[in-house]
A and B are shown apart, each in its own frame.
Chain A
Amino acid sequence: MKEFKVTPIRNGTVIDHIQVGTALKVLRIIGVKEDVNSTVSVLMHVPSKKAGWKDIVKIEDRELDPKELDKIALISPDATINIIRDFNVAEKFVVEVPQKIVGIMKCANPGCITNKNEPVEPEFVVESKKPITLRCIYCDRVTTDISENVV
């Protein structure tokens, strides 16, 4: 008999191939907190053919918006998104690191003007994709510490 650690979901999103150890960060950046109102399954340290080990997150009754996908790409660039509708995979794709990062991260430099009360969204250019390195277009600060600064 086939044994399921987590049962398939009817509707929602499966985020697969999350870099091992970062599932909890993924939950944080997509805003899954105590007040979550659908079932969320988290699998950590799952054997993976591609990467050895991976994490998986399944969120029922929710599809992610583009900003959330960009955030996931920043902390786990190889993650795949499976959108499930009525038990079937309706869409499947690998997240993509955008060329410009706007409004989803704050600048790591406390002296940066974007960390003051100014009406602008922080904006970064991607200097390198492996490892992900971002440069603030305002203060030029380069950061690789992504998950700490995702908003």
Chain B
Amino acid sequence: MDIVSIRDFSRAQIEHVLDVAERMLPVAKGDEKSKLLDGKVLGSLFYEPSTRTRLSFEAAMARLGGKSLGFDEPKGSSVAKGETLADTIRMVDAYCDAIVLRHPQEGAARLAGHFATKPVLNAGDGAGQHPTQTMLDLFTIRESKGKIDGNHVVIVGDLKYGRTVHSLSEALAMFGAQLTFVAPPTLQMPKEHLKHIQSMGIKPKSGTDLAEAVKDADVLYVTRIQKERFPDPAEYQKVAGAFRIDPALLKDAKKDMIVMHPLPRVNEISPEVDKTPNAKYFEQAFNGVPVRMALLAMVLGAVE
């Protein structure tokens, strides 16, 4: 069983992963010990830098009594000598029980899945999928709100290129959440993607006015707007200012609205928000551990 794309999962399957993740919480926090994956080895191949994803996968493996090996940049590995991904995967497949892969090319995880006999977990392939991020986002919403369906989720930031927002919005649509997309005009959700979401029976709203959208939100999901998307630095400053989350913006929001962010953040969320009960992004980052524990335990056959 590979974990390549959130599209490969039904709602019931995702809910099952979240249930298992919930049971993992005491072990993820270090309150209980587990030997569930004792003797198992995770191959961790990061062709691109990543802090949270790599560390939380390795933490997840360690918390369940397993070990991780691999690289966090291709420099110095056989990859730098021009080895194909297919060959690297076949080699690592022989050393490990499961493979986690972050790669700059889209579709890399699917390809790895074809060459590996062991389970492959996609930790992000270029601008493509990042299913474990989506699952931990859903887990965070469910933990905070008790359920996913029925919530009004406002997603703000770079909706055109942002990898996490495409898979997340699809998954939220599958759960029947209400969606509003807020972005600068040049970074709006691609039409193709909107159509796909509409085909799932959801009528998302799109706009540029964050203050208006926030008033009725249960969840505010913030993503980074990258400077390099703007040829004119002045234009970037203007946009970055208009989409900044600060205590003034939260004043008009529901008291129990939660603020999420896949991190790293730059200026999108003012540090003053960190102290508010609305801030859930560090908890969200922690949730990567129980969710990845659940997925590792499941693909390795330690839990059903």
Contacts and interface: CB of A to CB of B under 8 A. Distances in A.
Contacts of A136: 107
**Residues of A contacting B: mostly:** loop
B226 interface: no
B288 interface: no
A138 B84 contact: no
B111 interface: yes
B86 A109 contact: no
Nearest to B104: A111
Interface residues of B, number: 20
Interface in A74-114: 107, 109, 111-114
Contacts of A139: 105-107, 110, 125-126, 128
Interface stretch (A21-29, A44-52, A65-73, A117-125): A117-125
- The size class of the interface chain A forms with chain B is 10 to 19
Contacts of B103: 113
A116 interface: yes
> Which of B84, B106, B125, B127 has the most C-beta atoms of chain A within 10 angstroms of its own C-beta?
B106
B106 A112 contact: yes
A111 to B, nearest CB: 5
B199 to A, nearest CB: 12
> Which of B86, B111, B192 has the most C-beta atoms of chain A within 10 angstroms of its own C-beta?
B111
Contacts of A142: 192
Contact of B111 (A109, A120, A140): A120
B188 interface: no
Given A114-B111, A138-B111, A140-B5, A120 B86 contact: yes
Contacts of B192: 142
Contacts of B173: none
Interface of A: 107, 109, 111-114, 116-120, 136-142
Contacts of A116: 85, 105
Interface in B156-194: 192
B168 to A, nearest CB: 15
Contact of A118 (B5, B85, B104): B85
B84 A140 contact: no
B85 A111 contact: no
Contacts of B110: 113, 137-139
Contact of B107 (A112, A117, A119): A112
B11 interface: no
13 contacts: A109-B106, A111-B104, A111-B105, A111-B106, A113-B125, A116-B85, A118-B111, A119-B84, A138-B107, A139-B110, A139-B125, A140-B5, A140-B129
Contacts of A111: 104-106, 126-127
A138 B86 contact: no
A141 B104 CA distance: 15
A138 B85 contact: no
A112 B86 contact: no
B255 to A, nearest CB: 39
